[in-house]
C-alpha cells in the first residue's frame, strides 16, 4: 500500500508543476468534506480476495487523500487541475491495479479504505508490514 500511496503522491506533485492558467481541480473521485478530508462512501467489499473494482476504489481513495492534503496546504494555482487529476487517475488505475490484486489482502484494504488522512493510511502500511504473531 505504501508504494501505491507514494506513486500517487509523486504523480500529484509532478502534475502541479505547471498550471498555465487552468481552473482549480474540483473533483474526480470522492468529494472533499469541510476541513479538506475526503467524504468517502462507507467501506463495502466482501470477505474474499480483492477484486479489480476493490483496487480501483482503493487507488481512487488514496488519490483523493492526496488531493485533500494539497487543497489544504497549497495555493489553488498549485493544486492539480481536474484534467491532470483525470490523467493521473487513469494512469494509476493502469499501473497499480495489478500490484494491488497481487499484493494486498482484504484486511489491509479495509484499513486503507477507512483511513481519512494520509497519516492513517501510513498506519495501515505499518500494520500490514508487521510480522504475523506466532500461532
Among the ranges given (58-62, 106-110, 131-135), the one the predictor scored with the smallest mean pLDDT? 131-135
- The C-alpha atoms of residue 117 and residue 69 are separated, in whole angstroms, by 8
Q: How far apart are CA 135 and CA 133, in angstroms?
A: 6
How far is residue 4's CA from residue 2's CA, in Å, rounded to a whole number?
A: 6
Could you report the per-residue pLDDT of 24-45, keeping only the tens digit for each?
334 444 434 434 444 444 455 6
- pLDDT average, residue stretch 75-86: 92
User: What does the pLDDT average to over 12-21?
Assistant: 52
128 vs 27: CA distance, rounded Å: 30
Give the per-residue pLDDT at 114. 95
With a pLDDT cut of 70, the percent of the chain lying above it is: 59
pTM of the model: 0.69
pLDDT band at 83 (very low <50, low <70, confident <90, very high): very high
pLDDT band at 127 (very low <50, low <70, confident <90, very high): low
Amino acid at each position: 500500500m505504501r508504494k501505491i500511496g507514494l506513486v500517487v503522491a509523486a504523480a500529484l506533485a509532478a502534475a502541479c508543476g505547471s498550471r498555465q492558467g487552468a481552473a482549480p481541480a474540483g473533483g474526480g473521485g470522492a468529494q472533499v468534506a469541510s476541513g479538506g478530508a475526503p467524504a468517502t462512501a462507507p467501506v463495502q467489499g466482501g470477505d474474499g480476495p480483492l477484486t479489480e473494482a476493490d483496487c480501483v476504489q482503493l487507488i481512487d481513495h488514496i488519490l483523493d487523500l492526496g488531493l485533500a492534503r494539497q487543497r489544504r496546504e497549497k495555493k489553488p494555482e498549485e493544486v492539480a487541475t481536474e484534467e491532470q487529476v483525470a490523467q493521473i487517475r487513469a494512469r494509476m488505475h493502469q499501473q497499480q491495479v495489478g500490484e494491488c490484486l497481487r499484493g494486498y489482502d482484504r484486511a489491509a484494504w479495509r484499513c486503507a479504505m477507512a483511513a481519512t488522512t494520509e497519516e492513517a493510511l501510513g498506519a495501515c502500511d505499518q500494520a500490514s508490514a508487521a510480522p504475523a504473531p506466532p500461532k
